[in-house]
Structure 1
Amino acid sequence: MLRTDDLQLFVLTADLGSISAAARELDLSPALASVALKRLEQQLNTQLILRSTRSLRLTTAGMAYLDYARQAIQLLGQGQQVLQLGKEQLSGELTLSMPSDFGRNSMALWLAEFQQQHPKLQLKIRVSDRLADLGRQPVDLALRYGEPKDSQLIALPLVPDNHRVLCASPDYIRRCGAPERPDDIGSHQVLQLVLGEAVHSKWQFWLDGQLQQVQVRGALVADDGDVVRRWAVAGLGIAYKSRLDILSDLGSGALLKLLPDYKTEQAPLYLLAVQRLSSSPVLKALSEFLLQKLRQHWHG
């Protein structure tokens, strides 16, 4: 079967009159480009290009085939556009649960953009750090931090390398200093989040493969991650937040990373779905859309 990238290389080589120039346009090495053109000629059982040390020109067969190659690439591009248009016909109603901080400050706007691209689709969002039960509650999709435990759900990893970050505002650090090791956290005001039904009170850190776990207790506790982040930005204490939640704050300097030499808890982000959506084009389109957004957000 002919490869589309080989056809593109052939057309570009004919247009530019140079294999090296075509290779540069496609971010290939000249050697790989030559291999690709030879592969195309072998599959067609026809020499398309006459090469010499100083010049390059198409054979008679190459000149005749060039128009067909152009048409093939054009048709493939048109087919891709048709598929893109087909995505706009996504319809139905979906309810999606997502964590409060990242959901409210980033994901909500992304989902609104996705719905605008697919106007026949209705999205209902629930913003809460309380875990929704997709088996019992009227929720179709959920964005969750942490490894999924329910094997009955479809689990699509969106940001598998997300982790927690110990952080505080510059103002807090000026007033109270910064911990130099995990054991120092106990002498600071800590800002805690309720995860599920329990307060997240055991903060874990690793150095040289050795686990150091700190039992924390603070005067400020919330079941909303956005509240904890706002407290931290306001200089009210130290927080142990998902990196995704505070990327913008770290970039602006509103929050500073503490204990940078230590590894921290993993907090992978997953998109979970009920089984009936396993072959849904909506799930495929939404997961692809979110992956693109998250890559841009993660790498800034």
Structure 2
Amino acid sequence: MKIAVGFVHGNGQQHPDFYQGMVAALEGRLAEICPEVELVPEGIYWADITDNLEKKLQDKLVPYNLRWDKMIDARGFMINFVGDAIAYQPLPIKNDQAANNYIYADIHERFALKLQSLARKAGPDAPLCLICHSLGTIITSNYLYDLQCGKISPRIREIIDMNNTPLERGETLTHLYMMGSPIALWTLRYHDFGKPVTVPAPNLRGQEIGEWVNFYDKDDVIAYPIKNLSEQYAEVVKDDIEVRNPGLLSGTPLGSHGGYYQSDEVIERIVQSLAEMSNKITAQQDIAAAKAT
């Protein structure tokens, strides 16, 4: 059984192969407990979109010889880390002819193209699992929200309509895993903490497959539990799971933020759920085949 898996990275310095180590760990464990599952992975890499602007900003600051830039590149860290989140926010301007040039749209276009690739490689009806980290959890939530609420821009709609597959429309979404998510902070824009996305996809609700799980490390000041934000979140988020991330600086407020990709607890939960879904679908198909004969 093929499962399409999209990985969405977070803020800061990133590389296109950011997800490869986690893919290897997932595939290795699945080979032990459910070899029938074939993961079809795709990295939804977007860092280059914001890096270009952030590099221009850093170049403009060079003549000022600001403190803390040479030894520890403190401002470089702030620009890369905080700048990503600021640049991603859609500009609240109505009737702007340049709307398609916003970073928000550029990143969502990349997201749509990667789902298009997954549909081509895994199949148009393949179950879709999304694994996202840090700011990537916000991007993923926004993209899914736009899909589910009919708010996809014409620019993104054109990409989806090229093949118009169920996977690209978000209709095969079964699993959503958030790691080190600051989404609780984003919900402060709404008096009731906002409306969460639906996982599994609305058309799959009630089939008892898939889940939305939020992983957080207590030492990670960027990550927050989300299930108790509201009754709506409590209904769709299956679990907030506290993990202990590996790494030399994992006990520090920021050093713990990057360890989710290597967490055995995260890997095991994802693998067990994907294997459970595969077994359920296989059993359903066997029953249907038996009835047809």
* TM-score, length-scaled by structure 1: 0.24
**Higher strand fraction (1 or 2):** 1
Flag the structure with larger Rg: 1
